[in-house]
């Protein structure tokens, strides 16, 4: 591993918690260069909802590349983009009666967030953004300004402004009625809060530690935004593409955001790709006003189209995810009961679950013990106190059970 240590920046992080050299991957498994297998409950931080090298996506990709089809094209028209937009329209937007324009920003989640924030400001002529405690939206300066984590914010090196944090659902323990404070600030001309352009929210905070917003809280937020003429941005970068069950994580709350950010699993294959979905009447960009070299990367569009056609033309995957939600919840509850002194909390939705420990040290030890046993599960939350479980949505029941039992073993070893 010398070359990594001597040449790669010290900013590297995942390799520190999983200090092996990975080489191959298939389905729910990664293999290191010595051939040892690791069950993947990390899935590229949510970028591999359909597992590694999924054959239903790999086949069209190899066909595409094998015929010298176009790889790089910025935002030119291509056949791959036409097929993707057609599939996205037919399979995702029309059945949900959603009339979004699709913007291809740069390839990462933060690019989608930056595009959403810029557009919200352009449309409204206002600058402020409402954010929520423990939010995570990415590392670029705009995305960082709406992110909660102090360590990451500290890396900005400049003041992060034009964002006002509000309590996320349940963070005041139900002692204050939802949105009492925010409603008061927005309604009172003397509050000192300039009318914001938008509110940005994750329906389930992933990096924040699997904090699940209740549907009624999300509906309350959507209603508040509507009443005060504030745009609602849902950042579905990590929880979209079926992670919580339906394709969009906000569907179960019955809300329709003005702008939606997607990335991570939208390409389906782990390729960089991001989208900003824009309510049609808000699409007032000038041509090229927001651009970037790596937009609409064709191999990603090919695998994204295959993922939509394979998994979203019916509700089989969504139902399977909800069934596995119950399976993970039951295993987590049994696990929490088996270590009564630890005040272990289990929370999640769909196939995004967290085991919340009292402190980050314990959670870190569980993650390390899981790794020793052959299971990848990272930690999240402001103190790293939550062991985060994001198994592939396509995992087999036996692999899921094996992963859950390795996790139980890791918890028992540590606790
Ligand atoms: C909700 C959310 N938004 C934005 C991002 C940033 O995405 P990227 O790291 O691809 O820029 C992430 C990354 O974890 C995320 O979870």
Q: What is the pLDDT of residue 99?
A: 97
- Identify the pLDDT of residue 33: 98
Ligand 1 pocket residue status of 88, Cβ below 6 Å: no
Residues 6+ apart with CB under 8 A from 138: 108, 109, 110, 113, 114, 144, 147, 237
Residue 339 has pLDDT above 90, yes or no: no
Predicted TM-score (pTM) of this structure: 0.98
C-beta of 263 in contact with ligand 1 (< 6 A): yes
For ligand 1, the distance from its centroid to the CA atom of residue 31, given in whole angstroms, is 25
Rounded CA separation 108/23 (Å): 23
* pLDDT recorded at residue 181: 94
Which range (46-50, 170-174, 225-229, 407-411) has the least confidence?
170-174
The mean pLDDT value of the chain amounts to: 97
CA distance 11 to 65: 33
> Tokens in use for 126?
């206002």
Average pLDDT value for residue range 104-128: 98
If you measure from the C-alpha of residue 337 to the centroid of ligand 1, how many angstroms do you get, rounded to a whole number?
33
pLDDT tens, 21-59? 999 999 999 999 999 999 999 999 999 999 999 999 999
Q: How far is CA 14 from CA 20, 313, 355, 368, 389, in A?
A: 10, 35, 19, 12, 15
Q: Above 90 in pLDDT, residue 340?
A: no
pLDDT for residue 173? 86
Q: What pLDDT, on the 0 to 100 scale, is given for residue 50?
A: 98
Interval 91-105 mean pLDDT? 98
Local confidence band at 165 (pLDDT 50, 70, 90 cut-offs): very high
**Atom 16 of ligand 1, nearest CA residue:** 238
Any ligand 1 atom below 6 A from CB of 240: no
For residues 349-364, average pLDDT: 97
Could you tell which of 107, 116, 264 is best to mutate to test the pocket of ligand 1, judged by most ligand atoms within 8 Å of the CB? Answer: 264
Which of ligand 1's atoms lies nearest the C-alpha of 239?
1
- 209 C-beta closer than 6 A to ligand 1: no
Does 347 sit in the ligand 1 pocket, CB within 6 Å?
A: no
Q: What is the pLDDT of residue 64?
A: 98
> Nearest residue CA, atom 8 of ligand 1?
109
Smallest CA-to-CA distance from 293 within 139, 68, 72, 112 is with: 72
C-beta of 137 in contact with ligand 1 (< 6 A): yes
pLDDT in tens, 277-332: 999 999 999 999 999 999 999 999 999 999 999 999 999 999 999 999 999 999 99
CA distance 18 to 123: 44
Which of 113, 117, 149, 237 maximizes ligand 1 atoms within 8 Å of its Cβ, making it the mutation to test the pocket?
A: 237
Ligand 1 pocket member 245 (CB < 6 A): no
In contact, 378 and 354? CB cutoff 8 Å: no
Q: Please say if the pLDDT value at position 394 is more than 80.
A: yes
Distance of CA 5 to the CA centre of its chain: 29
Cα–Cα distance, 205 to 136 (Å, whole number): 7
Q: State in Å: Cα 338 to ligand 1 middle.
A: 34
318 pocket-lining for ligand 1 (C-beta < 6 Å): no
Is a pLDDT exceeding 90 seen at residue 343?
no
pLDDT-based confidence at 219, cuts 50/70/90? very high
Ligand 1, atom 4, lies closest to the CA of 137
- Nearest-5° Cα angle at 261, 144 to 296: 105
Q: What is the CA radius of gyration of the chain?
A: 21
Is there an atom of ligand 1 within 6 Å of 106 CB? no
Residue 325's pLDDT is what? 98
Write the DSSP assignment of 149-172 as a string of letters: -HHHHHTT-S---SEEEEPPTTTT
Widest CA span in the chain: 65
Between the CA of 138 and the centroid of ligand 1 the distance, in Å, is 5
The pLDDT, as a whole number, for residue 174 is 83
């Amino acid at each position: 591993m010398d070359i990594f240590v001597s040449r790669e920046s010290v900013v590297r992080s995942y390799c520190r918690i999983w200090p092996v050299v990975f080489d191959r991957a298939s389905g729910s498994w990664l293999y290191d260069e010595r051939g040892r297998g690791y069950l993947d409950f990390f899935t590229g931080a949510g970028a591999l909802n359909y597992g590694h090298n999924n054959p239903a996506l790999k086949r069209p990709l190899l066909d595409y590349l094998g015929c010298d089809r176009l790889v790089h094209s910025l935002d030119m028209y291509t056949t791959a983009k036409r097929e993707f937009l057609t599939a996205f329209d037919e399979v995702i937007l029309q059945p949900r009666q959603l009339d979004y324009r699709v913007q291809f920003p740069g390839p990462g989640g933060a690019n989608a967030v930056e595009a959403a924030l810029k557009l919200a400001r352009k449309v409204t002529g206002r600058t402020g953004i409402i954010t929520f405690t423990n939010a995570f939206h990415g590392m670029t300066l705009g995305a960082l300004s709406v992110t909660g984590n102090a360590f990451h914010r500290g890396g900005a090196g400049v003041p992060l402004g034009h964002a006002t944090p509000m309590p996320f659902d349940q963070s005041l323990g139900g002692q204050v009625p939802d949105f009492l404070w925010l409603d008061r600030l927005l309604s009172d001309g003397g509050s000192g809060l300039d009318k914001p352009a938008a509110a940005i929210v994750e329906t389930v905070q992933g990096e924040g530690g699997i904090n699940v917003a209740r549907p009624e809280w999300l509906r309350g937020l959507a209603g508040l935004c509507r009443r005060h003429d504030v745009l609602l941005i849902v950042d579905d970068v990590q929880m979209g593409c079926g992670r919580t069950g339906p394709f969009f994580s906000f569907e179960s709350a019955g809300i329709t955001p003005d702008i939606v950010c997607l990335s991570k699993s939208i390409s389906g294959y782990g390729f960089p790709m991001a989208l900003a979905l824009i309510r049609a009447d808000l699409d007032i960009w000038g041509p090229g006003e927001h651009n970037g070299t790596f937009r609409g990367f064709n191999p990603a569009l090919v695998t994204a189209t295959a993922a939509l056609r394979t998994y979203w033309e019916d509700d089989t995957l969504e139902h399977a995810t909800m069934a596995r939600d119950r399976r993970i919840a039951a295993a987590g509850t049994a696990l929490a009961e088996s270590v009564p002194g630890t005040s272990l909390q289990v929370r999640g939705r769909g196939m995004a679950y967290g085991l919340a420990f009292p402190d980050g040290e314990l959670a870190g030890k569980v993650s390390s013990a899981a790794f020793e046993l052959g299971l990848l599960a990272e930690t999240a939350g402001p103190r790293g106190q939550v062991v985060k479980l994001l198994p592939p949505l396509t995992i087999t029941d036996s692999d899921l059970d094996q992963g859950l039992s390795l996790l139980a073993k890791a918890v028992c070893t540590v606790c």
